[in-house]
């Protein structure tokens, strides 16, 4: 029996009104890596599909946009025709990534971006999960990406259990590639929420400071004090020590 053919994303659109999307055999590739791609389709929708695209990301996008009023893309559909991969259909966000415009910003403009992110994080933290657990926005396990591997665990009843999970192993984190801004340097959207969920308060800061980032990462991290109302230096040092101790 020949191997099962992986359907292209334009064949994975059941549940979306046909008039919203025209079949497009030659889509614009926005981003691609082995096993995963993000495409701009005719009709103005973006299809993110491949290995590691999860229901948790769809849940994070919808929860943040609908319940918190956060600048997340609107989800139109989610398809998972095979357990190994899935596709999320969402709105295209006009603008450029923060990484593209960052080197041309002056000090005041960079501080303004950081302040906008601080307000977004405050809105995120204003809501607790209904269960009080550390969990994904879908109520399932959480994930931690280290190097090139996902570590999955939980849900956890409390922070102690979550920290034990980190120890035994050895994201809503704002990074410049995942922030879309307009020509007035106003944040239009945060994208790529596959690690979104309910985490301890220190988690965003630790992941922000630990992220390798792009070519302007060092300068970007200088604005952590404007983005985060509290900084968790002890937790950051502990996380880095565990990461280095357990590194491949």
**2 part of a folded domain:** no
- Per-residue pLDDT averaged across 185-194, rounded? 90
pLDDT of 46: 93
What are the tens digits of pLDDT across the range 60-114?
999 999 999 999 999 999 988 777 788 999 999 999 999 999 999 999 999 999 9
Residues 111 and 142 in one domain: yes
Residue ranges of alpha helices (H) inside 79-192 are 98-101, 107-125, 159-169
Among all chains, which residue has been given the structure tokens 């984190």? 173
The phi and psi torsions of 96 (rounded to 5 degrees) equal: -130, 155
Higher pLDDT among residues 113 and 6, named by residue: 113
Q: Which of 202, 208, 168 is nearest to 190 (CA)?
A: 208
- Spatial distance between the Cα atoms of 209 and 173, rounded to a whole number of angstroms: 9
Q: Are 239 and 205 in contact (CB under 8 A)?
A: no
**207 part of a folded domain:** yes
Residues 207 and 134 in one domain: yes
Domain with 151, as residue range(s), is 96-245
State which of 91, 108, 140 marks the end of a domain: 91
Mean pLDDT of the chain: 83
Higher pLDDT among residues 173 and 102, named by residue: 102
State which of 46, 69, 91 marks the end of a domain: 91
pTM above 0.75, yes or no: yes
pLDDT of 3: 45
What are the tens digits of pLDDT across the range 103-158?
999 999 999 999 999 999 999 888 888 898 999 998 999 887 665 567 788 899 99
pLDDT of 20: 40
pLDDT of 19: 39
Residues 65 and 102 in one domain: no
Percent of the chain residues topping a pLDDT of 90: 40
Identify the CATH number of the domain in which residue 47 sits. 3.30.200.20
Whether residue 248 is predicted with pLDDT greater than 70 in this model: the reply is no
pLDDT of 23: 59
Q: Is 115 helix (H, G, I), strand (E, B) or coil?
A: helix
For the ranges 2-6, 33-37, 105-109, the lowest mean pLDDT is seen at 2-6
pLDDT of 4: 47
**32 part of a folded domain:** yes
pLDDT of 242: 77
Give the containing element (helix H, strand E) for 203.
helix 203-210
| 50: confidence class by pLDDT, cuts 50, 70, 90 | confident
- Spatial distance between the Cα atoms of 214 and 176, rounded to a whole number of angstroms: 7
State which of 40, 62, 91 marks the end of a domain: 91
- What is the count of structural domains for the chain? 2
């Amino acid at each position: 029996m020949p191997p099962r053919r992986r359907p292209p994303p334009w064949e994975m659109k059941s549940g979306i009104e046909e008039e919203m999307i025209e079949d497009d055999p030659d889509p614009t590739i926005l981003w691609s890596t082995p096993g995963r791609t993000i495409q701009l389709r005719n009709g103005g929708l973006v299809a993110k599909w491949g290995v590691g695209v999860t229901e948790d990301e769809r849940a994070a996008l919808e929860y943040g946009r609908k319940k918190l009023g956060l600048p997340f893309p609107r989800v139109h559909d989610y398809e998972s025709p095979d357990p190994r991969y899935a596709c999320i259909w969402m709105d295209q966000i006009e603008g450029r990534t923060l990484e593209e415009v960052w080197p041309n910003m002056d000090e005041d403009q960079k501080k303004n971006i950081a302040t906008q992110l601080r307000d977004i994080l405050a809105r995120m933290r204003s809501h607790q999960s209904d269960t009080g657990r550390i969990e994904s926005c879908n109520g399932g396990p959480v994930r931690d990406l280290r190097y090139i591997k996902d570590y999955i665990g939980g849900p956890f009843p409390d922070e102690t259990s979550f920290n034990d999970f980190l120890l035994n192993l050895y994201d809503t984190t704002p990074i410049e590639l995942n922030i879309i801004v307009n020509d007035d340097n106003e944040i239009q959207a945060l994208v790529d929420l596959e690690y979104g969920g309910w985490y301890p308060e220190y988690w965003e800061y630790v992941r922000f400071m630990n992220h390798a980032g792009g070519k302007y990462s060092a300068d970007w991290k200088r604005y952590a004090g404007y983005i985060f109302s509290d900084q968790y230096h002890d937790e950051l040092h502990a996380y880095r020590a565990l990461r280095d101790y357990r590194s491949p």
